Structure 1
Amino acid sequence: MQLQFLGTGAGMPSKERNTSALALKLLEERGTIWLFDCGEATQHQILHTTIRPRKIEKIFITHLHGDHIFGLPGLLSSRSFLGGEETLTLYGPKGLKEWIETSFAISKTHITYPIEYVEVQTGIVFEDDQFIVLANELEHVIPCFGYRVEQKPLPGELLMEKTKEYHVPKGPLLGKLKNGEDITLEDGTIVYSKDVTAPPKKGFTVTILGDTKYCEGAKQLSKDADLVVHEATFDHATTHLAANYGHSTNVEAALIAKNSNAKNLILNHISARFLLSDLQKLLEETKSTFSNAFIANDFSHYTWKNGILYEE
């Protein structure tokens, strides 16, 4: 699993940061990409990456403020020109479908692939045999959601020494055992998958939060997560302003990660008031509460592998 930040700014674009967009790359897991929010000029940001819009399978919108959705019509339109044919699913609060369809109707935009809309409410918004995605309402100035992406347990490693003991021949039978299927050999011997495979491996859990002040909903979504992406529009010195605008400080984000027993924290949605020279102090202040913390910049890239988060 990989994360690439396409926009990490708050409110409006600046010279250093575009508006909100984050790509969850599931290329190894399912050959697709999931996008979280799509601020203005997201497709321009994508041009500077290896991301192919036709690989985007799902887009999860946290809320309907412009800095999180103004890039959607353009990206959805370009996906047609770039050969996207597979269904794309849009998840978001009530009003998202109306806004997209109105934009298309007025601009006479024609999409060549199906779009499915899921109106998000608290609870499970997606589940298949690989992943489950849960949403929970946060506390912002308009309805806003966070998402928790849980990878289901992975099949345990096939123990080749064990398969040799049962005289399992090389070939497709080994694949069936690895995938959890029991098999019958030519002599009638039944070989049970559980007897020749290691225990299932725990999948990863990533929590991606929209704009929010410190709240219980964020803590619930972040519980025991391997990685939490949390906004930090304000710093500790401006705590009194954060709640008034439905936002969080860097220290409040750290407290969410700490109090929910998360493993890693990435700060996102950084205000333009913070210059490049301010970021080290912002990070040090965050780490005083939660040590495994990072600050995302546009195009920051992270890889989760074997239980460790790598910043690239």
Structure 2
Amino acid sequence: MRLLPLGTGAGRPTRDRYTSASLLEIPHPNRPRVRVLVDCGEAAQHRLFAARIPPNSIDAVCCTHLHGDHVLGLPGLLGTMGMDDRRRPLRLIGPTGLSDLIDGLAATPALTITIPLELEEHDPAVLSGQALTHLTPISEVSVAIAPLDHRVPTIGFRFEAPDAPGSLDVARLEQLGVPHGPLLGRLQRGEPVSAPDGSTIWASDVTGPVRAGSSVAFAYDTRPCEGARALAAGVDLLVHEATFARTDASLADKHGHSTALDAAHLAEAAHAKRLLLTHFSSRYDTIDGLLDEAQARFPETSVAQELLWVDVIRPGGSAVAEG
């Protein structure tokens, strides 16, 4: 699994930061990948183009809440998908009010929705803050939500990749005389094959243990809350807002946000493996102070850099940036 931050700014874009959007890419056993867009701030599709990601390759869009810096990219994205003649359904998940937003856009000449939408709303007021609510998977990718504490109805998301087959024992296969080629693929998929001597080779005899899928959770926009902790529990990568520095903690609470230190406290308490900070206020020209603040409490912290991939590795791995 890997993550591409498309926008890391809070509230409005700056010269250096776009508004909130992240692309999650998950390996799939029967297709190249699953792609999920978490939030869709202004110019999200432009960032997809910059990353050479076709908009029609997106399988689902998950919206945390309906503030403009998280959803104003939706009209353009849906319009482009329509002009590209998308035929397969797009799953659209979000909090109460999402259908009103889509209906309002479609009621004006600004947007004609021609693609099939599978839209689902979830009311944070009726969700448990103590435990995750599991949704129908997105192409075998586990999806769960929890309520967050912001000024409007807000939910956070957690995604878990499907387990991967164990690695093949190459030395053992050579001993058995199994040639490279389609037979190895069948064994990797768990199917038995016939050895050159006519005996049956079972996948369990030549593969290691199943590798658990990696997990990532998104918690923004939010004050510190139980829902965020449920999302973050034991996660491989926690993507958490860090709108303010601790010196501006009163502003964070007033506007329903977190400080970088709040994010670090949560990651530590929830036993997350790594923390990725995002959603930075435009009042900060540099975010070095936010990173220092969080790392002092939770050393396995990094900051999201736009259009720089982050690998999510499990177990015993770390999030590594790629070009």
TM norm. shorter chain > 0.5 = yes
Residue 125 of structure 1: which of 124, 135, 139 is its match?
Answer: 135
Identity of aligned residues (%): 38
82-91 vs 296-305, which deviates more? 296-305
- Determine which of 189, 192, 208 is the counterpart of 1:198: 208
The counterpart of 1:262, out of the listed 272, 277, 290, is 272
Describe the SS at the equivalent of 2:78: helix
Counterpart for residue 191 of structure 2: 181
* Selected match of 1:237 from 236, 240, 247: 247
Tell whether the 8 Å contact from 2:237 to 2:312 is kept in structure 1 after alignment. Answer: no
- Return the letter of the residue paired with 1:93: P
Corresponding residue number in structure 1 for 2:115: 113
Report the 3-state secondary structure (helix = DSSP H, G, I; strand = E; otherwise coil) of the residue aligned with 1:54: helix
Structure 1, unaligned runs of 5 or more: none
SS in 2 for 1:140: coil
Deviations 1:206-242 (A, max 9, x none): 1112201111111111111111110011111122232
One-letter code of the match for 1:201? R
Q: How does 1:145-224 map to 2 (within 5 A)?
A: 145-164=155-174, 172-183=182-193, 189-224=199-234
Q: Structure 1 residues 170, 104: CA separation in 2 closer, same or farther (over 3 Å shift)?
A: same
Matched with 2:130 is none
Equivalent residue, structure 2, for 1:303: 311
Q: What is the match of residue 83 of structure 2?
A: 81
CA deviations on 1:117-137 (whole Å, 9 max, x unpaired) are 122365112326742011111
> TM-score w.r.t. structure 2 length?
0.87
CA distance in structure 1 between the aligned counterparts of 2:245 and 2:184, rounded to whole angstroms: 55
1:253 pairs with one of 247, 263, 276:
263
| Aligned position for 2:292 | 284
Select between 301-310 and 111-120 the one with higher mean Cα deviation. 301-310
d(CA) in 2 for partners of 1:15 and 1:100?
Answer: 29
Structure 1 counterpart SS, 2:108: helix
Q: Does structure 1 retain, via aligned residues, the 8 Å contact 2:291–2:302?
A: yes
Distance in 1 (CA, whole Å) between partners of 2:246 and 2:263 is 10
2:214 and 2:313 in contact (8 A); partners too: no
Name 2:106's counterpart in structure 1: 104
How does 1:56-95 map onto structure 2 within 5 Å? 56-95=58-97
Total equivalences in the alignment: 310
The answer to which of 48-57 and 114-123 deviates more is 114-123
Aligned to 1:140: 150
**Kept after mapping to 2: 8 A contact 1:16/1:298:** no
Distance 1:46 1:164, change over 3 A: closer
Distance in structure 2 (CA, Å) of the matches to 1:60 and 1:190? 46
Determine which of 287, 298, 301 is the counterpart of 1:293: 301
Relative to structure 1, is the Cα distance of residues 237 and 33 closer, same or farther in structure 2, using a 3 angstrom cutoff?
A: same
Query: What do you get for the CA RMSD once the two structures are aligned?
Result: 2.4
Aligned to 2:14: 14
Q: Distance in 2 between matches of 1:243 and 1:249?
A: 9
* C-alpha spacing 1:170/1:33, structure 2 compared with 1 (3 Å): closer
**How far, CA to CA, are the matches of 1:190 and 1:2 in structure 2?**
37
CA drift of 1:90 comes to: 0.4
Q: Deviations over 1:100-127 (max 9, x none)?
A: 1221221263334311112236511232
Q: How big is each residue's C-alpha offset from its partner over 1:20-48, in whole Å with a ceiling of 9 and x where there is no partner?
A: 11111336774342111111222233332
The one-letter code sitting in structure 2 at the alignment partner of 1:102 is: G
Please give the alpha-carbon distance, in whole angstroms, between the structure 1 residues aligned to 2:38 and 2:16.
20
Secondary structure, aligned partner of 1:202: coil
Q: CA deviation at 1:302?
A: 1.8
8 Å contact from structure 1 (residues 87, 115) kept in 2: yes
**Shift in CA distance, 288/190, structure 1 to aligned 2, threshold 3 Å:** same
Deviation at 1:183, TM superposition (A): 4.8
Distance 2:279 2:263 in 1: 11
